[in-house]
């Protein structure tokens, strides 16, 4: 006879403990059980339910992939971001909680504009999480999402279509190409690559082995190269009193602030994330 779902859950947590601590293993197990048809409420209220064979097989398939270190989001093909479920694949960075905080700050900035903003640019859109969130919240604002990756843009377009938001997608290399020089933006928002090369060895295995490195590490040795380009571009292409909101490396907050100050940005704020680390920069042209 098959095990009941409570026993199956304990086995799954034990398997996940190979790569994750107890708390993470339990959180991931709940996600996997949701995928095989037993949500958390059902699991807690009906623990003696005998697991169906097809559910067991699917769970075992998931656990096999996770034993290789593959992130749960890639295993199930989706990630949770604010109120949205986004499709993700191995060519696309998994959205982080810190980026949710950036989006919530962007909501506040947009709501407090002296005049309603008309155009927003999302630099390095990845899964589309920022652009989609902003367009969903403010459907009358024109949102353009830029990325250099074909894989990322394909996923972002799928997510936008699934969630019913109309976004203009642009494939370009922000560091090399001329970007919409005839357009003036009210807000530029970005979670650019900012991990330092020296941090490569310290990355968790599931990040280092599976997530797209160009979405984490800027090219070359300058960890601030994207901020330099965003600041220079924003100084030319933002409207008067236009805003920039970027996710930043906590260790580089002083240097990044100086980059934006040097390009004439003012009212610069450095905001901490829920972990107490300096994670978001907001500035005004």
Q: What is the pLDDT of residue 116?
A: 86
Q: Can you tell me the mean pLDDT for 226-251? A: 97
Q: With a cut of 90, say whether residue 205 has pLDDT above it.
A: no
φ/ψ (deg, to 5) at 145? -115, 125
Q: With a cut of 90, say whether residue 150 has pLDDT above it.
A: yes
Within the chain, where are the H helices? 5-16, 22-35, 40-45, 53-67, 72-76, 97-111, 129-137, 150-162, 205-208, 213-216, 225-237, 253-262
pTM for the model: 0.93
Residue spans of the domains in the chain: they are 5-68, 91-284
Tokens standing for 280?
């978001």
Q: Can you tell me the mean pLDDT for 203-216? A: 88
Q: How many residues does the chain have?
A: 285
Q: Can you tell me the mean pLDDT for 144-171? A: 97
CA distances from 93 to 51, 144, 187 (A): 33, 19, 23
Q: Can you tell me the mean pLDDT for 202-228? A: 90
Q: What CA–CA distance (Å, rounded) separates 79 from 282?
A: 26
Q: What is the CATH class of 91-284? A: alpha beta
* Residues facing residue 79 across a β-bridge: 86
In which residue are the tokens 């699934």 written? 162
Encode pLDDT of 26-62 as tens digits: 999 999 999 999 999 999 999 999 999 999 999 999 9
Q: Can you tell me the mean pLDDT for 149-174? A: 97
Q: What is the pLDDT of residue 45?
A: 96
Longest CA span, the chain: 70
């Amino acid at each position: 006879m098959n095990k009941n779902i409570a026993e199956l859950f304990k086995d799954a947590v034990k398997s996940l403990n190979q790569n994750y601590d107890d708390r993470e293993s339990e959180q991931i197990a709940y996600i996997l059980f949701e995928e095989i048809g037993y949500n958390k409420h059902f699991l807690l209220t009906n623990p003696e339910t005998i697991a169906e064979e097809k559910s067991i097989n699917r769970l075992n398939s998931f656990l096999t992939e996770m034993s290789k270190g593959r992130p749960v989001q890639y295993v199930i093909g989706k990630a949770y971001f604010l109120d949205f479920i986004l499709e993700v694949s191995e060519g696309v960075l998994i959205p982080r909680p810190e980026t949710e905080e950036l989006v919530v700050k962007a909501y506040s900035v947009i709501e407090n504009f002296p005049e309603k903003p008309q155009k927003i640019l999302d630099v390095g859109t990845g899964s589309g999480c920022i652009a989609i969130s902003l367009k969903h919240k403010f459907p009358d604002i024109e949102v353009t999402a830029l990325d250099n990756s074909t894989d990322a843009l394909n996923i972002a377009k799928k997510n936008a279509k699934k969630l019913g938001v109309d976004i203009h997608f642009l494939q370009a290399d922000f560091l090399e190409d001329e970007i919409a020089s005839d357009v003036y933006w009210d807000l530029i928002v970005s979670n650019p690559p900012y991990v330092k090369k020296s941090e490569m060895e310290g990355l968790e295995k599931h990040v280092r082995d599976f997530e797209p490195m160009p979405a984490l590490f800027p090219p070359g040795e300058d960890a601030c190269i994207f901020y330099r380009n965003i600041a220079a571009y924003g100084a030319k292409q933002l409207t008067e009193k236009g805003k920039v909101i970027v996710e930043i490396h906590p260790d580089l907050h002083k240097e990044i602030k100086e980059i934006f100050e040097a390009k004439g940005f003012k009212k610069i704020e450095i905001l901490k994330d829920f972990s107490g680390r300096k994670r978001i920069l907001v500035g005004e042209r």
